[in-house]
Structure 1
Amino acid sequence: MTLSEMNAGDKAIVTRVVADGELKQRLFSLGLHKGSHLQIKATSIAKSTMEIEVGSTLLALRFEEAKSIGVQRA
């Protein structure tokens, strides 16, 4: 399952990040790496962006970016 398949209110644990170079480094620097716990706070109506909470940090991701993050429900 990928992060893009989750809904607002869902909690998850990151199982993998399938991205290269700059995107992978950006996600890692934001706290998104294997083992990270997160919660989906909101998704846009058009399902183009989502807001997630990782630790005490709120992030906005595009759904295309969220497709590169494997998760399991927590």
Structure 2
Amino acid sequence: MKKLIDCEKGEKVKVLKLATNYDLKQRLISFGIMKDTQLQVLEHAPRKKTIEVKVGKMRIALRAEEAELIEVETI
């Protein structure tokens, strides 16, 4: 499975699974990141410590550890 952290800048993906604990899953859902949501990777911080994604019209920065738990597929 491909992880969100492995995606390239500009890539558009669809969320397949959130392999997280309950609290983090609820936080991601509150941002609109859930199964079947489409995301676009906007930026990677140096050394991929964080990743900025676009969800709808909102921009969200996720830690690398969080992005590692989000399984995606390219669309």
Per the normalisation by structure 2, the TM-score is: 0.95
Corresponding residue of 2:25: 24
Structure 2, unpaired ranges of 5+: none
> What is the CA RMSD across the aligned residues, in angstroms?
0.6
| Secondary structure in structure 1 of the residue aligned to 2:59 | strand
Q: Provide the aligned length of Structure 1 versus Structure 2.
A: 74
Corresponding residue of 2:8: 7
Deviation at 1:22, TM superposition (A): 1.1
Structure 1, unpaired ranges of 5+: none
Are residue 37 (structure 1) and residue 38 (structure 2) matched? yes
Per the normalisation by structure 1, the TM-score is: 0.97
Task: Please list every run of at least 4 consecutive aligned residues from structure 1 whose deviation after the TM superposition is greater than 2 angstroms.
Answer: none
Distance 1:33 1:3 in 2: 13
Corresponding residue of 1:49: 50
Deviation at 1:34, TM superposition (A): 0.4
Distance 1:20 1:60 in 2: 19
**Quick one: percent identity of the two aligned structures?**
36
Deviation at 1:45, TM superposition (A): 1.6
Deviation at 1:47, TM superposition (A): 0.8
| Secondary structure in structure 2 of the residue aligned to 1:31 | coil
